[in-house]
Amino acid sequence: MGQNQKKRNKSDFDNFLEEEFSGQQEEILKIKEEQYRKIFNKSPSGIKILDSQGNILKANESLCEITGYEKEELEGSNIFDILVPLEIEEEARENIKRILAGVDLSMTVKNRRKNGEAVHVHLSETRITLSDGSVGVLSMCVDISELKEKEKELKYLSYHDGLTGLYNRYYVEAEMERLDTKRQLPISVIMLDINGLKLVNDTYGHDKGDKLLIKVADIIRDNIRQEDIVARWAGDEFVIILPQTDKQRAQEICQRIDKACEEADFNSIPISLGMGSATKTVIDQDIFNMLNKADSDMYKDKLAKRRSAKHRLLRNLLNTLVAKSNETKGHAVRMTELAHRLGEEIGLNREQLKNLSMLATLHDIGKVTIPEEILTKPGRLSEDERKIVNEHPEKGYRIVASIDEYSHIAKYILHHHEKWDGSGYPEGLQGEDIPLLSRIITVVDAYDVMTGGRPYQKAKNREETLEELKKCAGSQLDPELVKVFVRLIEESEI
């Protein structure tokens, strides 16, 4: 074969290879292009391709979901017209310049949705070469609005009290250090404490106590200035920080809060606060010592008000009991008279008679915690309802035990439903183990209930009642007390 023939054959073979290889490359490029197109369109991240001026050349489906725009609305638009808020436009233009210069950027920014709402996105952006040979920006974003909301919520919770919505102790301590400057002088501190919160909790339950805390928080918030800082300090305590406020102004705010508490309507429960204030006037004073001084003044004020506050609450409880049950004022008056007569007859001393009178008035105070529909139910109580009713001696005990002037009669209230034979409640005491005053009240109460009647029990006349008492002597009632009481009733005009 000649040399020219060889060259011709080689050339044909080379052409064949080039054509074959070129075809394969074209096929590979088509496959890759299709893959990239799918990745671009179906990526969970929002992707857009920008030119050097911020015009959107291409946008994917996820970007449409994030922004609220249709693809046709995005492509051909400029990011500064539809996505970038005015307040960060200058920064965004500088970022494009940096990216085009070869700097990859990753940042969190706030963009705009079509409806005008803000959307927080995390951006990752890099330089790319466009099809016409110019440089542009490949921008990928992820919607982190939900994450930002959770972050905001966590930050809120870290600085706020979960119940009242006020700031918490951690926040106030930090603010006290921040505000402790000469420019803020004089700076005043007010400490406040709810009088009788434990009594409210014991009487009405902790849910009512929580609502009282919220009510007090609202009262305080409504009676301070916008620049003042109020926080729930701990339990039933609150603190107010008043920058640039002298002692007189701080005391005026205390008086305003005090008056608002007196006028507040909280289900007939009186609201009373112990309050104390202190003022830092020179920079050398320790602001936390002012807090301690305000706390000390608050405690003195609390002691001065506590008796009055608890008396008001106790009076309201008695009025509530009258309103929601058959425990009328007449019943209390008769109980006091009968108990006093029986006490004198058996030789009680003056102090015992005084305690007996208090007991006659307060023995059923625990019933205030029982739902009205149970207290006034005309028919037989269910087992669960009976259980609730039987808790009233313990509830009454806790109420009265929390009031210093009456705490010494709390044990008599606890045991006024014990029975002589040990079948009573709450502790099943028997015979003379039951306190004497409790035994007296049990006899007197039985007489007045039977003669007065109840929704579940028709009233008896005096003779029928005395016979019933005699039958119960030795089982439910102290037999000696019954004997004396029956004689007392028969010989008197009671």
Same domain for 235 and 131, yes or no, is no
137: containing domain: 39-148
Same domain for 262 and 353, yes or no, is no
- As a whole-number percent, the residues of the chain with pLDDT over 90 amount to 69
Coil/strand/helix, residue 252? helix
- As a whole-number percent, the residues of the chain with pLDDT over 70 amount to 91
Same domain for 262 and 285, yes or no, is yes
Same domain for 341 and 364, yes or no, is yes
Same domain for 280 and 400, yes or no, is no
Inform me whether the pLDDT recorded for 7 exceeds 50: no
Residue range 129-167, pLDDT digits in tens: 998 999 999 999 999 999 888 888 888 889 999 999 999
Last residue of a domain, one of 115, 148, 181: 148
Measured over the CA atoms of residue 313, residue 317, residue 322 and residue 328, the dihedral's sign is negative
Contact status, residue 325 vs residue 372, Cβ threshold 8 Å:
yes
Task: DSSP for 40-96, please give it.
Answer: HHH-SSEEEEE-TT-BEEEE-HHHHHHH---HHHHTTSBHHHHTS-GGGHHHHHHHH
CATH label of the domain that carries residue 304: 3.30.70.270
Report which of residues 429 and 370 the model is more confident about.
429
Last residue of a domain, one of 119, 148, 177: 148
313 in any annotated domain:
no
211 in any annotated domain:
yes
Contact status, residue 314 vs residue 424, Cβ threshold 8 Å:
no
Inform me whether the pLDDT recorded for 24 exceeds 70: no
Give residue 258's pLDDT band: very low, low, confident or very high (50, 70, 90).
very high
Contact status, residue 111 vs residue 103, Cβ threshold 8 Å:
no
457 in any annotated domain:
yes
Report which of residues 410 and 11 the model is more confident about.
410
Last residue of a domain, one of 81, 114, 148: 148
Q: How far apart are CA 490 and CA 494, in angstroms?
A: 8
pLDDT for position 456: 60
CATH label of the domain that carries residue 377: 1.10.3210.10
CATH label of the domain that carries residue 73: 3.30.450.20
267 in any annotated domain:
yes
Same domain for 165 and 144, yes or no, is no
11 in any annotated domain:
no
Give residue 411's pLDDT band: very low, low, confident or very high (50, 70, 90).
very high
Q: What is the pTM of this model?
A: 0.69
Same domain for 141 and 179, yes or no, is no
Spatial CA neighbour of 374 closest among 455, 450, 459, 268: 455
pLDDT for position 114: 94
Same domain for 380 and 418, yes or no, is yes
Give residue 69's pLDDT band: very low, low, confident or very high (50, 70, 90).
very high
455 in any annotated domain:
yes
Same domain for 209 and 187, yes or no, is yes
Same domain for 359 and 238, yes or no, is no
Inform me whether the pLDDT recorded for 101 exceeds 50: yes
Instruction: Say which range, 33-42, 139-148, 345-354, has the weakest mean pLDDT.
Output: 33-42
61 in any annotated domain:
yes
Q: How far apart are CA 460 and CA 463, in angstroms?
A: 8
318 in any annotated domain:
no
Mean pLDDT of 188-193: 97
Q: How many domains does the chain fold into?
A: 3
Same domain for 219 and 301, yes or no, is yes
Number of neighbours of residue 479 by Cβ within 10 angstroms? 14
Same domain for 174 and 270, yes or no, is yes
β-pair type (118-129, 105-112)? antiparallel
Q: How far apart are CA 449 and CA 476, in angstroms?
A: 15
Mean pLDDT of 114-124: 93
